[in-house]
Chains A and B, each alone.
Chain A
Amino acid sequence: MTSVTAPDAAPKRRSRRWNSLDAREARLAWTLISPTALIVFGLVLFPAIFSVWISFHDVGLSNLNDVFHAEFVGLDNYREVINDFAFKPGELPEEWATANLGEKVSIIFTRWNWGAAVTSVVYSFAATALTVLVGLGASLLLNRPFRGRGLARATFLIPYVAPIVSVAFVWRWLLDPRPSGVLNDVLMNLNLIDLPRAYLAERGLALLIVIIFEAWRYFPFAMLMILARLQAIDRSMYEAADVDGATTWQKFWYVTLPELRYVIGAIFLLRLMWTFNKFDDIFLLTGGGFGTKVLPVLTYEFSFRLRDFGKGAATAMILLVILVVFLALYVGVVMKNVEED
Chain B
Amino acid sequence: MSATGKVLNVEGLRVSFQTEAGLVKAVDDVSFSLDRGEVLAIVGESGSGKSVTAMTLMGLTRGVNARIEGAAQLDGKELISASDEELRVIRGAELAMIFQDPMSSLNPVYKVGDQIAEMILAHRDIAKQEAGAQAVELMESVGIPGAAERADNYPHEFSGGMRQRVMIAMALSLEPQVLIADEPTTALDVTIQAQILRLIADLNNKHDVATILITHDLGVVAEIADRVVVMYGGRIVESGTLEQIFYEPQHPYTWGLLGSVTRMDRPRTDRLTQIKGQPPSLLAPPEGCHFRPRCPYAFDKCTQKPSLEARGGDPSHLDRCWLPAERKAAARAPEAAA
Does A pair with B?
A: no
